């Protein structure tokens, strides 16, 4: 009996410790490494190799309604500057990333992600010109994730409050975070978000938002934390996730 109670105290302590540990999200995948590139399939595989909590990507809807993976609103192809929302997917996928890969569709990204069992996929929905396009994007992406039974391995982030609300509405169990930094934890709780995912400067101004979030049962993610000073400051603040271009550096700090 005594052994059992000691064991449960030890297990509880281990659990609390594990919960408190800050985790890493590779911003646009792990791209600052050999043969990788932002938002490439390689960046996802590299994040999976180093076992980050998550690997982040940016998603747009092409002019013919295909979700594609890229950060900027525009791409360059054969010297032409093309807006992604005005260009069909069969043209967009001809764009070469800096590591020689073609710009991926979300479908091809999910094909690769299905084998990446060590990391979650953090999908950022980019803000689109119209609510109609944003709603179409969420509809399609949630269906793709559901059809592959990946709901428990995918989380969502967006600067667009419409995209955040729409995602929560369509999948109340999905973990959805808001990026803009202008709303308090209490407001995010009231709309059903999993937490806040704000710029590091926001937490320097409002450090109390970390504890406020935790008291409300929300998680805290912070972007994009690359400098040693910021990494240490955010670990000390006890954020749940650090989104970074330097996952190995953050790992070093966490291992200390
Ligand atoms: Mg992003």
Q: Which residues, chain by chain, have CB under 5 Å from ion ligand 1?
A: 58, 124
State the Cα–Cα distance between residues 64 and 100, nearest whole angstrom: 25
- 58 C-alpha vs ligand 1 centroid, how far in Å? 5
- pLDDT tens-place string over residues 104-115: 999 999 999 999
- CA of 251 from ligand 1 middle (Å) equals 20
Residue 1 has pLDDT above 60, yes or no: no
- Calculate how far, in angstroms, residue 124's C-alpha sits from the geometric centre of ligand 1: 5
Residues 6+ apart with CB under 8 A from 144: 67, 106, 107, 110
71 C-alpha to ligand 1 centroid (Å): 6
Share of residues in the chain with pLDDT > 90 (%):
92
Q: Are 141 and 67 in contact (CB under 8 A)?
A: yes
Ligand 1 center–CA 118 separation, angstroms: 20
Q: Average pLDDT, whole number, for the chain? A: 95
Which residues, 6+ apart, have CB-to-CB distance to 175 below 8 Å?
155, 156, 194, 195, 219
The predicted-structure confidence for 122-145, as pLDDT tens digits, reads as follows 999 999 999 999 999 999 999 999
Ligand 1: centre distance to CA 76 (Å): 19
Q: What separation in Å is there between the alpha carbon of 175 and the centre of ligand 1? A: 16
- For residue 103, the CA-to-ligand 1 centroid distance in Å is 15
Task: Judge contact between 54 and 122, C-beta under 8 A.
Answer: yes
Q: Give the pLDDT score at 17.
A: 47
The structure's pTM equals 0.92
């Amino acid at each position: 009996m005594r052994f059992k109670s000691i064991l449960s105290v030890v297990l509880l302590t281990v659990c609390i410790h594990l919960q408190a540990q800050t985790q890493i999200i590779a911003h646009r995948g792990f791209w600052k490494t050999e043969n990788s590139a932002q938002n490439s399939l390689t960046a996802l595989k590299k994040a999976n190799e180093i076992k980050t909590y998550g690997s982040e990507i940016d998603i747009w809807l092409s002019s013919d309604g295909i979700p594609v993976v890229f950060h900027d609103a525009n791409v360059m192809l054969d010297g032409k500057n093309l807006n992604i929302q005005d260009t069909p997917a069969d043209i967009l996928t001809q764009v070469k990333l800096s590591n020689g890969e073609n710009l991926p569709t979300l479908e091809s990204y999910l094909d690769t992600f299905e084998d990446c069992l060590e990391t979650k996929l953090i999908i950022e929905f980019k803000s689109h010109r119209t609510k109609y396009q944003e709603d179409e994007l969420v509809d399609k992406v949630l269906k793709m994730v559901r059809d592959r039974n990946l709901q428990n391995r995918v989380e969502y982030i967006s600067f667009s409050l419409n995209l955040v609300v729409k995602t929560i509405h369509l999948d109340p169990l999905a973990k959805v975070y808001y990026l803009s930094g202008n709303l308090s934890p209490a407001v995010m709780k009231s709309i059903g978000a999993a937490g806040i995912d704000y710029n590091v400067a926001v937490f320097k101004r409002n450090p109390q938002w970390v504890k406020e979030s935790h008291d409300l049962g929300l998680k805290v993610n912070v972007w994009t934390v690359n400098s040693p000073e910021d990494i240490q400051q955010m670990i000390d603040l006890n954020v749940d996730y650090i989104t970074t271009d330097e996952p190995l550096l953050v790992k070093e700090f966490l291992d200390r």
